[in-house]
């Protein structure tokens, strides 16, 4: 398994090196092509009498979950701002460096 991973990683590296492309544009192209193919498949399934697509579940967020997430995010942002204030005032130069 490890040998296979090393071989695949080496082949990927050679492909990226020879094509002079970056990973992000290739990933975005692959995702765009997959979205287009899924759109075509969904339209074909809707108009043709082939296999029916399943219904999408309703996505709902509870108020408790939103409040918990917001409170957690607020604490983290306040900690970052406190660290930035300490760095600005020169109280904690170790974090600055």
Q: Is residue 68 part of a domain?
A: yes
* 56 lies in some domain: no
Domain assignment of residue 23, yes or no = yes
Residue 92 has a CB neighbour count (10 Å cut-off) of 14
Contacts of 51 (CB under 8 A, 6+ apart): 45
Cα 85 to Cα 77: distance, rounded to the nearest angstrom:
12
Note down pLDDT in tens along the chain; length 97 residues: 999 999 999 998 888 888 887 878 888 999 999 999 989 888 887 677 656 667 778 888 899 999 999 999 999 999 999 888 887 887 766 666 6
Domain interval for residue 40: 3-50+64-87
pTM listed for this prediction: 0.40
In a domain, 19, yes or no: yes
- DSSP-based three-state secondary structure for 80: helix
């Amino acid at each position: 398994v490890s040998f296979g991973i090393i071989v695949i990683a080496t082949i990927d590296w050679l492909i990226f090196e020879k094509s002079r492309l970056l990973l992000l544009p290739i990933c975005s192209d692959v995702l765009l092509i997959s979205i287009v193919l899924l759109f075509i498949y969904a339209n074909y399934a809707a108009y043709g009498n082939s296999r029916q697509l399943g219904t999408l579940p309703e996505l709902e967020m509870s108020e408790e979950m939103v409040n918990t997430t917001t409170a957690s995010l607020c604490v983290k942002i306040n900690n970052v701002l406190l660290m930035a204030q300490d760095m600005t005032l020169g109280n904690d130069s170790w974090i600055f460096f």
